Structure formats: C-alpha cells, structure tokens
Amino acid sequence: MVNRKLVTLIFAGIISCLITASAQTNIGYLGKKVALGYSPQVSLVNFVKGFDVLTHTFNAEFSTQRYQSLSISLGYKKTKVPTDAFESQNEYLSERYLLNGQSYSVDFQKMGGDAHFRTLMFGLKVNFFYHGRTFAAPNGFCQYIKADYIKVTPTKNNYEYELLNPSQYTAAQIANAKVPEIKNAEATLFNVGFGLASKKMMTRSLFLSFNAEVNVNTLMFMYIMDEDYTYAENINEDLFITGKSINKFKQFLGFGVGVGVML
C-alpha cells in the first residue's frame, strides 16, 4: 500500500509540474526547462567510518516557475555488511524447525561473514532559486526541501552461524537446522531534509552540479526517543534490522558533485 501511494504521489507531482510549466512562457534557462543529471552522493558520517559511503543518484528536474523547480530522483547502492559493522548486535539468534511433525527451537551464534543489501531511494524535491544569483530555473543557486522513500532489500546472506549446545539435539535435528532462505526481510524508511545546490554551465547544455544537505529519518527519531529497534529473535528479523541500521545515519550529512544536461 505504501509503495502504491508513493508512486501515485510522484506521478501526480510530475504531471502537475508539466502542466504548470506548459502554462507559463517566462521560465527556463535559455528556453531549457528540464535538467537531467547524475550525482554520486557522499555520506560524511559514513566517510568518517570508512563504510558504505556512496549512493548513485539520478535526477530529473522540471521548471515550474521562473525561480522554482521540482525534482524527482532515484538513488541506488549496494552494501556489504560485515558481522562487526554494528558492534555485533543480534549476535545470538533462534530459529524454529519442524521434524516428523514435532517443532523444536535451535539457538545460533553469528560468528563472521557478511550480508549483501540493495538500497533504492525514491525522492521528491522542491527547489527555490535565489533571485539575485539566478536568471531562471533550473540553472543557478537554490535551496531545497526534500522527502525520500527508502527501500532496503537483503540479497545475499553470507553470515556464518554456529549451533549453540549441539549436544542438546539429535543428529537428524542438526541436519534439519539449516539457515533459512531470505524472506520478509525488506525494510523501509522515510527521509526528510534541507539542502543547498548550484549548477555551473560548461556549455549551453552541459553543467556541473554541487549540493550539500542535512536529512533526518524515522529511525533517528526512534534513536532520540531511546526506543529499542535493534533486537531480533531470528535470522530474517536480524537481516531486516541490519538493513535499517545501515541507513540510520547515512544520509544525515551529505554532499554531491555531478554532471548533467539541460533540455
């Protein structure tokens, strides 16, 4: 349901933007009203940690007024998360299995390895250009407000698990106690932020872009309120929480340098 609402809002924003742009004649930089660009976004928080630094971001920006524009974006990154990335949170995990009609529980300890995650970010941004430093959007210097929907999916679980107290189980129970397939482990977050951005024209169409921004998300509010979201009972729940944790502070402070073209 959330995904459908998000897609509906994005398409409604695009349609509204295009209708508004077509209704006004005095907009656009040299008659160009659309800017398409690519910008790798760097997380300053993660840069200090040396972990999960870059997000690849593709943008489409549309002039809506002479000093205002609307942007949509798609961000993409892959992250390999080692066992000790979050101080071994959820080191001990439990799984339930069924053998010959009987249910039993097995405890594991996470010993090493890593897991792979894919993050997609769908963003919507409203840009307000400074009159004294801009002839017309989408070129020039602006401030912006933004909102992102973030979806994190575990794609591969290479964590190593050791069975605790194996003497408690029969050989058949141990053989049956396999690491479960990844299931119901996708995590979602919402981001809101504020930033500054500028474009530098290299030719009549090609430009360099620069931006810096501050973001907060739902997990950061939970952290401030000291709510425990880091405890997991089983392996898939641990992957779910890890997917959230890698994005908790990643977008808090960031900057980007990119390239693009105006149409």
CATH number of 2-262: 2.40.160.20
How big is the chain by its Cα radius of gyration, in Å? 23
Q: What is the pTM of this model?
A: 0.79
Position 153 scores a pLDDT of 93
28: left (phi over 0), alpha (psi -120 to 50) or beta: left
Query: Residue-wise pLDDT tens for the chain (263 aa)?
Result: 445 565 566 556 655 655 554 455 447 777 788 999 999 999 887 765 666 788 999 999 999 888 899 999 999 999 888 887 765 567 788 889 999 888 999 989 888 888 999 999 999 999 999 887 777 778 889 999 999 999 999 999 999 888 888 888 889 999 998 888 888 889 888 889 999 999 999 998 999 999 999 998 877 766 555 555 556 788 888 888 888 888 877 778 899 999 999 99
Q: Give the torsion sign (CA, 4, 9, 14, 15).
A: positive
Closest CA relative to residue 43, chosen from 121, 137, 104: 121
> What is the residue-wise DSSP string for 21-79?
HHH-SS-SBTTB-EEEEEEEEEEHHHHHHTSS-EEEEEEEEEEEETTEEEEEEEEEEEE
At 218 the three-state DSSP class reads helix
| Structure token digits, residue 79 | 């992250």
87: left (phi over 0), alpha (psi -120 to 50) or beta: left
Distance CA 75, CA 149 (A): 10
Distance CA 25, CA 70 (A): 17
